[in-house]
């Protein structure tokens, strides 16, 4: 029997699941970027953490069941797509629940609680630049802010962003340019003072 006939077919060869240390290292590198994207897609820090955790659990399940195609380089694009879908589902569930509950009042303290969860970590908790940037990103239309976050903090290409959002890479690039321009205009005062440079 020759050597070629002794080898299993390619479809039978399976990639071994990543070791816990590999997962930990990968999550330390990409976790903050994914959480930032999840935070932009959801209404609170807690929802963002839940959505990110659910997305990671789905990824791990696919890897363990050998359903996932690709190696570690494909994990981040998969998670961006999954986070976005899970956030949309969560938002719809929350909206339906609110309508059913016929809830009239809100506790103002709880309503403003999300303001205390910064999107961007910095050395100084009251960093004026971070606060300005976060506020202005929240004011942008979502279609612009999600592309900016994925491009700048997620370090994704326009092709990858387009795939995640279901748009062409040219549309992703246009949204990025328009979003940055709008962000620059809204931060004009800070830029003139030299507090911010984008």
pLDDT for res 112: 47
Cβ atoms of 8 and 53 within 8 Å: the answer is: no
Q: How many CB atoms lie within 10 A of CB 95?
A: 10
DSSP one-letter code for 42 = S
pLDDT for res 53: 92
Rounded average pLDDT per 10-residue block, the chain, 198 residues? 46 57 87 89 89 92 86 88 88 74 49 48 53 79 87 85 89 91 77 51
pLDDT for res 111: 47
Predicted structure pTM score: 0.54
pLDDT for res 191: 53
Alpha helices per DSSP H over the chain: 3-6, 20-41, 45-64, 75-101, 108-111, 128-139, 142-148, 158-165, 169-186, 188-193
Burial class of residue 34 in the structure, from the number of CB atoms within 10 Å of its CB (0-12 exposed, 13-18 middle, 19+ buried): buried
pLDDT for res 14: 42
Q: Is 19 left (phi over 0), alpha (psi -120 to 50) or beta?
A: beta
pLDDT for res 120: 53
């Amino acid at each position: 029997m020759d050597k070629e006939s002794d080898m299993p077919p390619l479809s039978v060869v399976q990639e071994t699941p990543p070791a816990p240390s590999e997962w930990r290292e990968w999550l330390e590198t990409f976790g903050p970027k994914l959480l930032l994207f999840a935070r932009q897609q959801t209404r609170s820090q807690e929802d963002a953490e839940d959505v990110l955790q659910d997305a990671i659990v789905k990824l791990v399940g696919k890897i363990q069941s050998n359903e996932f195609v690709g190696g570690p380089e494909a994990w981040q694009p998969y998670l961006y797509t999954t986070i976005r879908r899970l956030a949309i589902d969560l938002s719809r569930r929350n909206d339906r629940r609110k309508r059913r509950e016929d809830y009239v009042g809100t506790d103002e303290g709880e309503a403003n609680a999300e303001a205390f969860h910064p999107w961007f970590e910095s050395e100084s908790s009251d960093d004026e630049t971070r606060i300005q940037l976060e506020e202005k990103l929240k004011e942008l239309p979502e279609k612009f802010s999600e592309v900016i976050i994925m491009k700048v903090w997620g370090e994704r290409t326009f092709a990858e962003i387009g795939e995640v959002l279901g748009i062409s890479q040219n549309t992703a690039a246009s949204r990025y340019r328009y979003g940055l321009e709008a962000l620059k205009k809204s931060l004009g005062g800070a830029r003139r003072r030299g507090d911010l440079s984008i």
